[in-house]
Chain A
Amino acid sequence: MADPIPLHVNGAERRITAPAGLSLLSALRDQLDLTGAKYSCGEGQCGACTVLIDGKPVRSCLVPAASAAGKRIETVEGLERNGVLHPLQQAFLDKAAFQCGYCTPGFLMASVALLRRRPNPTPTQIRSELNGHLCRCGAYPRIVEAVRIAASRKR
């Protein structure tokens, strides 16, 4: 059995055991019960598994869990603070920017990273930034609107 490794997830110190080849996605979902990040393709095509590592969006299905040791990880579960939704969560909710909602956590995390880097993105910038994410239900137009609304509302 591999030694436990520390992960900083959503501001808390957690421990996982990471056999070689275990993805960060599996570690989060199976060991830490953080099931917000989703599996859909396992090859970086869909973005459903997106989480932030040191503020950057990554496809957690492709990241070895061991490589995230000691880094700052943010997942969808950490966005809400004291019962108050993150402005992006609120905007996705207000615009109903989802149908089944399976893609939503991935879109939210990628959008969080986008707005930190670019507080006022144009629709074109939003679309190109999120082009690597799939929403099979086709909520795309609402997702762009939601990100714009979140940007226009000050936190």
Chain B
Amino acid sequence: MDPKTRYKIETFDIEPDRFEIFAPSAHRLEFSRREFFATLGAGILYVISAQDAAGQQPERIAMRLHLAPSGLITVLTGKVDIGQGLRTLLTQAAAEELRVPPHQIRIQTADTAITPDDGGTWASLTTPQTVPVVRRAAAALRQAGFQPQALQQTVASSVTLTDPKDWKILGTSLPTVNGRDIVTGRQQYGSDLKIEGMLHGRILRPPSYNATLTALDTSQATNLPGVRIVRDGTLAGVVAAGESTAAAALALLKPQWKESPLPDPSTLYDHFRKTAEAPVFQKGSRYPALLEAGAVADAMRTAARRHQTTYTAQYIAHAALECRSAIAVWEGRKLTVHCGTQAPQVVRRELAGAFRIPLADVRLIVSTIGAGFGSKHRGECELEAAALARAAGKPVRLAWSREDEFLAGYFRPAALVDVNTAVDANHRITAWDFHNYNSGAAGIAIPYTIPNYYCGFHKSASPLRQGSYRSLAAVANTFARESHLDELAHLASADPLQYRLRHIEDPRLRHVLEEGARLFPWPSRSKGAGLACTIEKDARLALFAQMESPAKVARLLLVFDCGAVLNPDNLRNQLTGALIQGIGGALFEAIRYDTRQVLTHRLSRYRLPRFADLPAIDVHLIDRRDVPPAGAGEAGITLVAPALANAIFSLTAERRRALPLSPSPAFKT
């Protein structure tokens, strides 16, 4: 792509793994070509918010808190509720610092007209970033005696927060504040919304992955009553009064396509190698794509033994249960979109850029979301709904089908990871050379003490659209690292736990391993046990697994230390869920495709974890009130694949280095 037309990003303080954020919009809308390039050349800036970059900005209390005469206090957040417990955690944070009962607190989630920019709802940042911001504003208001004038004050950086050891509401398992709405069916998700006078849209999708529309015969579709055919740039769709009419009209369209093939999937990993760029060191980046120390080459040369392996991971799907939808409303040149994105400010900027209107004229109102796992960071659906609504001159609702999710969304990147290590005569690791191709930089850091290392992420060309997934590339990178550690332990005829401990200094990481060993117990008397450990987003965790067969997990035991625990029950729930989700990606999930199209484009073709896949699960939390809480929701997912691979090795003496580890025959690629 011409560098002039590339989307610019104003801050580099975002993981390089978030490929979807850097990607162009799904559609180019109708402008003259010159105008189009002028717009892009000027740069559509995905400014990742100041909150994301710096953690906190001084802000007025009123940006965060509203007081109603009734005594009800509203907390404003630009984050969204995707089932991570956001409302509950922020209720606790505000109630704790205001010293009011939780039922006096209401949470207003992202509505760009009224809530501050808290960055995307990603990277488990709610706990380490949004919770502290809310606590500070609440503490400032209380210290000002709840005076309404105080709302106009800026939150002083010196404001004192309640010491975690004195917490009365934080640190407890306050039940999910919207739990009653969930069990009664009253909880409204984005796909449940309706707006007076809205029409329904459908988008014409190509028959293959890389295809462009060359001609469209609309003669039959236009015969249907009240149907409008929309063509806008690369986008084509229909709008009608009802969903069935829209679907019927879509079926009557006669498109012609120019298709171009995908590279043969069997050559995927070669393709990554061929298109790889060298890792780039970025000074000051929180998410470096290159880490090095010592002299790897020298250490390799003088090694007693070297071990070289390659690990792979396939593309997988997020498959959040709620498919995305959006309702777009234009008033003149002003646009309001009701939707379910995880990153309201990113999508808002995308829409302002796509329709060439000022940012201030785009409002996003985000509903509660039926989960995301990183899939809902871009405005694919919002943009389509807004384009249809612009053409129709009426509010339009666009609801994606499951097929749309698979074919028009993005996947977790496939990965190729080379690990090359050297050990001395005592089997101590002296050099670590680690290369991730295509999937990302998250999790390339090593929690072990190794004097010489090189860890790099090579950007490659991905044939399929890819982007953020829970814990990003840390899943693939931790799989490679922790599998390799086990291989080294085996070569040294050492116990994998003891072998790890010999290389670990971090006392908290040692502790989760030792605690897990005591509870599991390790060494296990039966075959089929495996373990893995990591430091992920400042949390320390160790996972112990028992396999019944290479395709069935019998038991998982997780020991988890993320500092002070804000809500133990919510954290256990999140971690258990992350482990279960991890089982899918570890054992059987994989996107299959051929040179034309993605073949796993429905839930009947894409297997997800069910009850039958469930092991017994224990989650042990280590609550450290003296350590600021780290983000936690996703971390559990990173250890599943390596613990299971190591357990399979113990069971079968076979080393499996490709994810998924045990694809079911019907899903084999």
Binding site for B on A (CB under 8 A): 19, 21-22, 26, 29-30, 33-43, 45-46, 48, 75-77, 79-80, 85, 89-90, 92-93, 96, 98-105, 108, 127-128, 130-142, 144
Contacts and interface: CB of A to CB of B under 8 A. Distances in A.
B184 A77 contact: yes
A33 B369 CA distance: 19
Contact of A77 (B185, B194, B323): B185
Contact of A41 (B578, B579, B603): B603
B581 A138 contact: yes
B402 A136 contact: no
Interface stretch (B135-143, B530-538, B605-613): B605-613
A140 B577 CA distance: 8
Contacts of B614: 127, 140-141
B497 to A, nearest CB: 26
A141 B570 CA distance: 14
Interface string B601-637: 0111000111110100100000000000000000000
Contacts of A79: 184
Nearest to B369: A100
The 7 closest A-B pairs by CB, nearest first: A36-B185, A100-B83, A102-B370, A138-B577, A138-B580, A101-B182, A76-B185
Given A133-B610, A138-B609, 11 more contacts: A40-B323, A41-B602, A45-B604, A48-B321, A77-B184, A80-B184, A98-B183, A131-B612, A132-B610, A137-B321, A141-B576
B322 interface: yes
B471 to A, nearest CB: 14
Contacts of B189: 38, 102
B338 to A, nearest CB: 14
Nearest to B581: A138
B650 interface: no
Nearest to A105: B185
Given A42-B402, A101-B187, A136-B320, A21 B244 contact: yes
28 contacts: A30-B242, A35-B188, A39-B323, A41-B402, A41-B602, A42-B401, A43-B602, A46-B603, A93-B183, A96-B570, A98-B179, A98-B182, A99-B83, A99-B371, A100-B320, A101-B181, A101-B370, A102-B371, A104-B182, A131-B610, A134-B608, A136-B320, A136-B373, A136-B581, A137-B577, A138-B577, A140-B580, A140-B614
B573 interface: yes
A35 B576 contact: no
Contact of A103 (B175, B184, B192, B321): B321
Interface in B466-480: none
B82 interface: yes
B569 interface: yes
Nearest to A100: B83
B321 A40 contact: yes
B601 to A, nearest CB: 11
B290 to A, nearest CB: 34
A101 B577 CA distance: 13
Contacts of A29: 192
Contacts of B579: 138
